[in-house]
Amino acid sequence: MSEERPVIRLEHVSKTFEGETVLRDVCLDIHNGEFLTILGPSGCGKTTLLRLIAGFESPTDGDVIIDGRSMRDVPPNGRKVNTVFQSYALFPHMTVFDNVSFGLRMSKVPEAEIKDRVLQALRMVGLSGQAGRRPGSLSGGQQQRVAIARAVVNRPLVLLLDEPLSALDYKLRIQMRTELKQLRREMGITFIFVTHDQEEAFSMSDRVVVMNEGCVAQVGTPVEVYEQPVNMFVARFVGETNIFEGVAGQIEGGTLHALVEGRKCDLSSRRGFKPGDRIRVLLRPEDLLVEREVPEDDEKLWLPGLITETVYKGSTWDMIVRLDSGNEVLVTEFFDEDAEKMNFQAGERVFVSWFDGWEVVLPHEDDEPV
Amino acid sequence: MRTTNLFKRLSIGGAALWLTIFAVLPFVLIAGTSFLTRDEGTFVSLRFSLQGYAGIADPVFVEVLRQSLYLASGATLLCLVVGYPFAYTLARWRGRGKAVLLLLVIIPFWTNSLLRTYALVFLLKGKGLVSAVLVWFGIVDQPVSLLYTELAVFIGLVYTLLPFMILPLYASLEKLDNSLLEAARDLGANRLQTFMRVTVPLTMPGIIAGSMMVFLPALGMFYIPDLLGGGKHVIAGNFIKDQFLTARDWPVGSAASVVLTLLMACLLLAYHASSRRVHRHGAQGFDGGKA
Amino acid sequence: MSMLRRLLGLLPVYVFLYLPIAVLITFAFNDSKYSVSWKGFTWKWFGKLLENTQLMDAAVNSLTVAVLSASAATVLGVLAAVALYRYRFQGKRLMQSALFVVMVSPDIVMGVALLVLFMTLGLKPGFLTLFLAHTTFCLPFVTVTVSSRLAGFDGHLLEAAQDLGAGEFRAFRHVLLPMLFPAVLAGWLLSFTLSMDDVIISFFVTGPEFDILPLRVYSMVRLGVKPDVNALSAIMFGLTVVIVFTSQLLLRRKR
């Protein structure tokens, strides 16, 4: 994959709006045919990044390269990318057919071919019978499909999707995720999808770009981003996280001897820490173990605490445990019909630990509020 | 790429060129003329002088201006007193027919004001309808003509300009969030207090815009005092008209126009200040679009 | 109950606004030259109106000027509105201010300012000066009408057009213009009305050989009541009602 020329390459792209930096030195290669999601909180610059690729904005610094060509001074209508807008931006004075055929007409495709391609695109998004209708008379989901058909009918190299599902209701959103994935597989083109919803990002993408304050925080597969967050921001933004404070000791091989919550503990980490460095140990709620008593002959660190609340969630059972150190952690247990520990009650004293090696160790970031 | 720039240049350039020649330049010329010297043959000669301003400092013009301001501000006040409750009721109208009621205000707004003034002549003249009604009610014994009185001029100004007061007032009252009024009542304000402390301040841009749209034309509509006042009541408009077309004293006429324009500028500043206060982010009175 | 009371509150103003016009129109059909009393229905004043060649010539002149200047103002006004909506450019604030000043300036000031301009340029007062003046004072009204419709648009529509390969002009031609059409037409109609109505500015910029309706009427009614002017008023009022009604319908559509 890395041998191949990236379909889009962002080279040190920065963007400033009236003195305010929205994007800072972003470098990113987007591979041909991948489903890439740009994930981040609102104001992180993800939509600006998309608009730079589409050509609605031009970078203050750096360059956007599409298919090997610099896009400097190339207007949106000169780029082989198409956008599905958050608001769909369907032309209200045109029928569905005219909307979808707009791009083909602009590039002077012969009329007969236009008809075939438009009808094919509409069939692909399941709107065969709706060609003569106006956007205003369609449901939100149908408008969404028209917007997608209007973009893909032009056979762009890359399809840009700017939070396209945010206006749909929950059920439709879930359904559209599957459909978008299928669509990409059928078409074989690159999708760049912008969202602030990590579940949406994970369920569709080959790779996720997590952004924060105009910078790329992490690029990786959903599993990498979830299991191995590179910093506190990513860890916090992507799913629930429990944090244990600690201090690093000696490193032997892949094992870091450390103090966690004031107690000795061996951690696995490939990062280099110096003895005395403050560290944080991150664990997902489902990585934590809870027992009423410390199992015999177990050398793991078991932190004592008190269950303060239990929450039944259907497929899982969540517990909030206040450790004796004062730290509160969230534990998620998946149902196991036979296990008696399902019967934990608020007020019980328990011990909390985690599966060996599932922890992520990060340096303590001083500027982060605890 | 080339058509891109062409269309952009054409749309900006076309409008900009026209406005420069026919909107900016005339005002510059008027301002310039007001500082030149009168000349019998060519209207003005290119010599700097303050004759124009000396001309309007003349007691004759001061008297005209005084009378003009009196008529215009009187008409503005009358329009406000009549127009505000009307616009308020219309804006709060719940139920059907609102569009029609509004349309009935918009139609006079666009109807030829000369014809409307003429209609008043028809009504107020000696053998007109008003006189006939007054006689019929026994208020007067003989047919009277209200024409060529100060009252007639006031009626004329108010009649012609009332829609210009009502529409901006309506626009700002319409935007008024009802929950603000409810909040004021909830916090213990009575009707009058709510009105004075919430409604009026929030509709101040509308009040000023409406006043401006009545006051400024009222200074200039020379045909109203002409037709209804019988030439006895001279307003600034008549004065300027005469300076240009009869007396042929352009510097004086220009100086008077400059004074009117400055008056307009003051009102505009007041409008901006008040709408900025209401909309916090400095709303534009006229805004083509956001960047 | 309270609605009726409110309607009664509004009524005096409506009576005030419409009674004079109603009386005027009624007497356009009265078979008596001066009297207030009703002498029977007649069409004869309309016939008189048609025979009044001076008035008819002025009407033709007025219509010509109104149609041409409304069209010119519409083209320029739409371009200005679109430019202000789409582009950032130097002097944008200045353009907005100029439009605003033209709109709120007292007619008398506009009139003399244009008079001075035309004299300076050496233009003879007549058709051309009228056309230029009327186009100028109609322009901002078109811009405002179109701008307020533009303000309600989804900003992404134009981007979508560009994204799909349309350049600036084609995005305007295929997307903006069709969507703006009602506002453009309304702007034209309002300009036409403004042009037909104007007395003060025309007073300064036209010459004796090019007479227009409002000025002809002005010089006629200064000397008293004329029944054929009543007939003319009835026609013009009817025209205004139709135009205002149409333009309001256009502006209300699909907001």
Residues of C in contact with B23 (CB under 8 A): 98-99, 101-102, 136
Asked if residue B4 has pLDDT above 70, the reply is no
Residues of A in contact with C157 (CB under 8 A): 89, 91
Cβ of B119: how many Cβ atoms within 10 Å? Answer: 24
Helix axes B59-91, B236-245, angle to 10 degrees: 130
- Options 3.30.200.20, 3.40.50.300, 3.40.50.720, 2.40.50.150; CATH of A8-235: 3.40.50.300
Q: How many C-alpha atoms does C128 have within 13 Å on its Cβ side?
A: 7
CA angle C125–C126–C130, rounded 5-degree value: 95
Q: What's the confidence (pLDDT) of residue A339?
A: 62
* pLDDT tens profile A23-73: 999 999 999 999 999 999 998 999 999 999 999 999 999 999 999 999 998
Cα nearest neighbour of A74 on chain B: B1
Q: How far is B4 from chain A (nearest CA, A)?
A: 9
* CA–CA distance, B185 with B170 (Å, rounded to integer): 22
Give the range among A299-303, B19-23, B223-227 with minimum mean pLDDT: A299-303
Tell me whether residues C108 and B85 touch, CB distance under 8 A: no
Query: What is the pLDDT of chain B when averaged over all its residues?
Result: 85
Q: What's the confidence (pLDDT) of residue B285?
A: 38
* Percent residues over pLDDT 70 in chain C: 97
Asked if residue C111 has pLDDT above 80, the reply is yes
Phi, psi angles (nearest 5°) of residue A280: -130, 135
Q: Would you place residue A271 in the very low, low, confident or very high pLDDT band (cuts 50, 70, 90)?
A: confident
Beta bridge partner(s), residue A329: A321
Residues of B in contact with A76 (CB under 8 A): none
Q: In what order do the strands lie in the sheet with A190-195?
A: A81-84, A158-162, A190-195, A35-39, A207-212, A215-220
- What type of residue is C62? S
The answer to whether A30 and A52 are in contact (CB under 8 A) is: no
Tell me whether residues A75 and C162 touch, CB distance under 8 A: yes
Q: What's the confidence (pLDDT) of residue C238?
A: 93
Q: What's the confidence (pLDDT) of residue C255?
A: 44
A17 in contact with B at a CB cutoff of 8 Å? no
* CA–CA distance, C225 with A52 (Å, rounded to integer): 69
Q: What's the confidence (pLDDT) of residue A337?
A: 62
Q: What's the confidence (pLDDT) of residue B280?
A: 54
Q: Kindly write down the DSSP assignment for every residue of C27-42, as one continuous string.
A: HTTBS-SS-SS---B-
Phi, psi angles (nearest 5°) of residue B283: -65, 145
* pLDDT tens profile A323-349: 998 889 999 887 766 665 567 888 989
Q: What's the confidence (pLDDT) of residue B291?
A: 25
Give the range among A203-217, A234-248, B128-142 with minimum mean pLDDT: B128-142
Asked if residue B108 has pLDDT above 70, the reply is yes
- Options 3.40.50.620, 1.10.3720.10, 1.10.645.10, 1.20.120.140; CATH of C56-254: 1.10.3720.10
Residues of C in contact with A75 (CB under 8 A): 162, 167
- Note the ipTM here: 0.88
Would you call A308 helix, strand, or coil by DSSP? strand
Tell me whether residues C154 and A154 touch, CB distance under 8 A: no
Radius of gyration of chain C (CA): 22
Q: Where are the domains of chain C?
A: 56-254
Q: Kindly write down the DSSP assignment for every residue of A39-79, as one continuous string.
A: E--TTSSHHHHHHHHHTSS--SEEEEEETTEE-TT--GGGS
Q: Which of B10, B27, B208 to mutate to test the interface with C (most CBs of C within 10 A)?
A: B27
Beta bridge partner(s), residue A256: A251, A267
> Which residues touch B59 (CB under 8 Å, ≥6 apart)?
none
How many helices and strands (H and E) does chain B possess? 15, 2
* CA–CA distance, A15 with B194 (Å, rounded to integer): 48
* pLDDT tens profile C228-242: 888 999 999 999 999
Q: What's the confidence (pLDDT) of residue A311?
A: 87
Name the residue among A201, A209, A236, A216 with its Cα closest to residue A360. A236
Cα nearest neighbour of A75 on chain B: B1
Going by their DSSP bridges, the two strands A349-354 and A303-312 should be labelled as antiparallel
- What type of residue is A317? W
Tell me whether residues C236 and B115 touch, CB distance under 8 A: yes
Name the residue among B114, B218, B248, B41 with its Cα closest to residue C115. B248
Q: What's the confidence (pLDDT) of residue B94?
A: 83
Question: Would you give the end-to-end CA distance of chain B in angstroms?
Answer: 22
Per-residue burial over A46-55, b = 16 or more CB atoms within 10 Å of its CB, e = otherwise = bbbbbbbbbb
Cβ of C38: how many Cβ atoms within 10 Å? Answer: 12
Cα nearest neighbour of C155 on chain A: A89
Helix (H) or strand (E) run with residue B45 in it: strand B43-45
Q: Would you place residue C90 in the very low, low, confident or very high pLDDT band (cuts 50, 70, 90)?
A: confident
Tokens of B261: 């324009």
* pLDDT tens profile A114-128: 999 999 999 999 999
Length of chain A: 370
Architecture of the CATH domain A240-363:
Beta Barrel (2.40)
Per-residue burial over C114-126, b = 16 or more CB atoms within 10 Å of its CB, e = otherwise = bbbbbbeeeeebb
* CA–CA distance, A285 with C146 (Å, rounded to integer): 57
Give the range among A171-175, B19-23, B61-65, C65-69 with minimum mean pLDDT: B61-65
Q: Kindly write down the DSSP assignment for every residue of B48-80, as one continuous string.
A: --SHHHHHHHSHHHHHHHHHHHHHHHHHHHHHH
Report the C-alpha dihedral over residues A122, A128, A131, A133, rounded to 10 degrees: -120
Q: What's the confidence (pLDDT) of residue B1?
A: 40
* CA–CA distance, B185 with B105 (Å, rounded to integer): 31
* CA–CA distance, C138 with C70 (Å, rounded to integer): 7
Q: What's the confidence (pLDDT) of residue B128?
A: 75
Going by their DSSP bridges, the two strands A190-195 and A35-39 should be labelled as parallel
Q: What's the confidence (pLDDT) of residue A3?
A: 55
Tell me whether residues C221 and B128 touch, CB distance under 8 A: no
Beta bridge partner(s), residue B39: B43
Name the residue among C98, A279, A180, C109 with its Cα closest to residue B241. C109
DSSP E strand boundaries for B59-168? none
Asked if residue A184 has pLDDT above 70, the reply is yes
Q: What's the confidence (pLDDT) of residue B287?
A: 35
The answer to whether A141 and A88 are in contact (CB under 8 A) is: no
The answer to whether C209 and C58 are in contact (CB under 8 A) is: no
Q: How far is C222 from chain B (nearest CA, A)?
A: 6
Q: Which of B17, B19, B146, B245 to mutate to test the interface with C (most CBs of C within 10 A)?
A: B19
* pLDDT tens profile B120-168: 988 888 777 787 788 888 788 887 788 888 899 999 999 999 999 999 9
Query: What is the pLDDT of chain A when averaged over all its residues?
Result: 89
The answer to whether A362 and A232 are in contact (CB under 8 A) is: yes
Mean pLDDT (whole number) for A241-253: 88
Q: Which of A55, A81, A91 has its CB closest to that of C175?
A: A91
* CA–CA distance, A298 with A288 (Å, rounded to integer): 15
Q: How far is B206 from chain C (nearest CA, A)?
A: 14
The answer to whether A235 and A208 are in contact (CB under 8 A) is: no
Q: What's the confidence (pLDDT) of residue B282?
A: 37
Q: What's the confidence (pLDDT) of residue B148?
A: 86
DSSP E strand boundaries for chain A? 8-17, 20-30, 35-39, 61-66, 69-70, 81-84, 158-162, 190-195, 207-212, 215-220, 242-252, 255-260, 263-268, 278-283, 288-291, 303-312, 316-323, 328-334, 349-354, 360-363
If you classify domain B59-290 with CATH, what class do you get?
Answer: mainly alpha
Asked if residue A369 has pLDDT above 60, the reply is no
Comparing A250 with A53, the larger pLDDT belongs to A53
> Which residues touch C224 (CB under 8 Å, ≥6 apart)?
none
Q: Where are the domains of chain A?
A: 8-235, 240-363
Long-range contacts at B171-177 (CB < 8 A, ≥ 24 apart): B171/B206, B172/B202, B172/B203, B172/B205, B172/B206, B172/B207, B172/B209, B173/B87, B173/B88, B173/B90, B173/B91, B173/B92, B173/B199, B173/B203, B173/B206, B174/B91, B176/B91, B176/B202, B176/B203
* CA–CA distance, A76 with A54 (Å, rounded to integer): 6
Q: Which of A18, A53, A83 to mutate to test the interface with C (most CBs of C within 10 A)?
A: A83
Mean pLDDT (whole number) for C170-197: 91
DSSP 8-state assignment for residue A248: E
B179 in contact with A at a CB cutoff of 8 Å? no
Query: What is the pLDDT of chain C when averaged over all its residues?
Result: 89
Residues of A in contact with C159 (CB under 8 A): 54, 56, 76, 83, 85, 89
Tell me whether residues C19 and B291 touch, CB distance under 8 A: no
B4 in contact with A at a CB cutoff of 8 Å? yes
Q: What's the confidence (pLDDT) of residue C36?
A: 65
* pLDDT tens profile C8-31: 889 999 999 999 999 888 888 888
Mean pLDDT (whole number) for C104-127: 92
